[in-house]
Structure 1
Amino acid sequence: MQIVQLPSGFNSNHIRSNHIDFAKTVDHLACLALLDEASLEHKPGLVCPSTQGSHADMNYALFQRSIDALQGYFQAQCINGYNHVDFEKIRQCGVTAEQKMLTATAQINTHKGAIFNLGFASAAVGKCLSEKRLSGKRTITAQDISQCITDTWQYELQHHLQRNPHSHGQCMRNQYGITGAIEEVASGFQTVLTLALPQYQDIYRKTADKKSASLQALFALISELKDTNIVWRGGLSALYLVQDMTRQFLKQGGVLQKNWMQEVEKMETYFIQHHLSPGGSADLLGVTLFLDQVEHEFHHML
């Protein structure tokens, strides 16, 4: 996979004079977050380099092609946010990216959630950039991005975004009252900000291991998120069971406990045996990795 490299000579004057390069960097970070999520091993029920998980129609190579097809999309959404375009233009940009993804994957949905989640996150980064240039503030934080989303697009996401009544998420919403990706984005990714990102950053500080930190964040998401992908495949009973399973794992110390990989392997086996896939949690892990990288890359760079 070819990832766009960070612009050479990247400095504060460069950012102020050329927001296109900034948007290219956002695109790089978004694609890298997706690649890091796909490349992470031991994600129960999910596609990894060594396994298809619970997905007979997907594999790691397919995810790589999908991410390749999305390069440039997050740059476009960042520029959309920078230019304060209307909600419909952001939505249409996402629709175009989804069509490109489906063409690359022979109509298999690999990253529809990521297109939606990281599309709005990228647009929010762009809008933050334009506003911080005026205010003189010198950082972009995950909280800034969250606040930008809720202030700018929450109402339209909740009330004006057309929902597909046949999607898995909407079927689960209608049948069980479970909210999904739209509500999570409209909240400014509160599940990520209050749960996954703190877990990721805490484990990384303690271990300096991004893979362990990513797995901890993923299990934290599975433990609390009403993941419509799990409910679609196994019903509410499956959701409650895997939530209890992951909560017990985290209570015992998560990835910091002795022989933690043995416990993870047991969960991997269970998810595959029962054809479960925490796809919603995987999407939010991608958001977690993206927000962490944005905070790291652009701290005091504006």
Structure 2
Amino acid sequence: MTIALRWQSRPNRALDATQLGHFASLCLKLEVETYPKPGLVSHVDNGAHRDMDAALLCLSAETLMPFFSELAAAGAEGAGMNRLRAIGVAAERAMLAATQDINTHRGAIFGLGLLCAAAGYRNAVGIRKSLGRLVSERWGDDILSGPVSLRSHGAVASRRYGAGGARAEAAEGFPSVYDIALPALQAARERAPHDEEAVRVETCMRLIAEVTDTNLLHRGRAEGLRFAQESASSFLAVGGVGSPGWRRRAADIHEAFVARNLSPGGSADLLAMALFVDRLEV
């Protein structure tokens, strides 16, 4: 059963904190309502995950909604990173309580939460800067100097393989969102102007092809990352969602990821973040 979620028009950039929280939660649900995404949970199947499904991810997104609103409100009040981090910790605890200790959205709490804070700040002061630039300027140094998670799979892979990971991505203003995902969204809309799910599939493929996803490194090591990037690149090279039979090719890649227990969770988070930025950006 699909999740009946649609937006009809570009929302007003000056959403209040409550609306921003709802919108961030919606973007997480739209990521779930995207198939075929290689190895990832969707409304069709569980991908390479045995411990979660679409219903659980949507429950997690609902649970996080008020925390995203709180982060937006904190941003509007000029909060520093310590306060944002405390809200993020509370959000993670609530998520784990709701999901019975399954990590559904730890990465999204961090990345999407910072974008919510930046959106709240931007609306409060009325400046015209990108959300990514605001995150980098206001909190970038504290993001890099703050405590490092020792338990997340992404953090372990970052240390093992020297990948920058989510902290570097945020501190630099989310280049994977602005330089990879947003252009991919725009290009895919030209090829599939009436199919937003197809647009999300192609954007996810572009992210997998170009991002060093630490979730892939954790699950498949360097070989798994290379396989994933080559598979996504091959899909794009023959025209992506603009080519005949693209759904079958994407589904075949999805099945190959599942067989190898590969799941690009970092790319999934970046897709949700790109959807958020795409509809709110200057």
Give TM-score, length-normalised by structure 2: 0.92
Q: Could you tell me which amino acid in structure 2 is paired with residue 67 of structure 1?
A: A
Q: CA deviation at 1:182?
A: 1.0
Alignment check: 8 A CA contact 1:54 1:275 kept: yes
Alignment check: 8 A CA contact 2:21 2:68 kept: yes
Q: Does 2:26 match 1:32?
A: yes
Partner Cα distance (1:148, 1:39) in 2: 29
Q: Does 2:244 match 1:258?
A: yes
Q: Does 2:217 match 1:217?
A: no
Alignment check: 8 A CA contact 1:29 1:293 kept: no
Question: 1:239 corresponds to which residue?
Answer: 225
How many residues get paired? Answer: 275
Q: Could you tell me which amino acid in structure 1 is paired with residue 109 of structure 2?
A: I
- Work out which of the two has the higher radius of gyration on C-alpha atoms and give 1 or 2: 1
Question: 1:123 corresponds to which residue?
Answer: 117
1:177 pairs with 145, 162, 181, which one? 162
Q: CA deviation at 1:25?
A: 1.6
Q: Could you tell me which amino acid in structure 2 is paired with residue 180 of structure 1?
A: G
Partner Cα distance (1:122, 1:241) in 2: 33
Alignment check: 8 A CA contact 1:29 1:294 kept: no
Partner Cα distance (2:158, 2:110) in 1: 18
2:153 pairs with 128, 147, 168, which one? 168
- Stretch of structure 1 that moved more, 97-106 or 203-212: 203-212
Question: 1:272 corresponds to which residue?
Answer: 258
Give TM-score, length-normalised by structure 1: 0.86
Q: Deviations over 1:90-123 (max 9, x none)?
A: 0000100111111100010001111111110000
1:112 pairs with 106, 112, 115, which one? 106
Q: Could you tell me which amino acid in structure 2 is paired with residue 42 of structure 1?
A: P
Q: CA deviation at 1:11?
A: 8.1
Q: Deviations over 1:165-224 (max 9, x none)?
A: 232122212211112111111111101101111111222244222111101110000001
Residue 44 of structure 2 aligns to a residue whose secondary structure is: coil
Alignment check: 8 A CA contact 1:2 1:68 kept: no
Show structure 2 runs of 5+ residues with no match: none
- The 5 A counterparts of 1:1-302 are 22-132=16-126, 144-159=130-145, 161-208=146-193, 209-295=195-281
**What is the Cα-based RMSD across aligned positions, in Å?**
2.1
Residue 289 of structure 1 aligns to a residue whose secondary structure is: helix
Partner Cα distance (1:207, 1:173) in 2: 35
Structure 1 runs of 4+ with >2 Å offset: 205-208
Question: 1:18 corresponds to which residue?
Answer: none
Q: CA deviation at 1:40?
A: 1.1
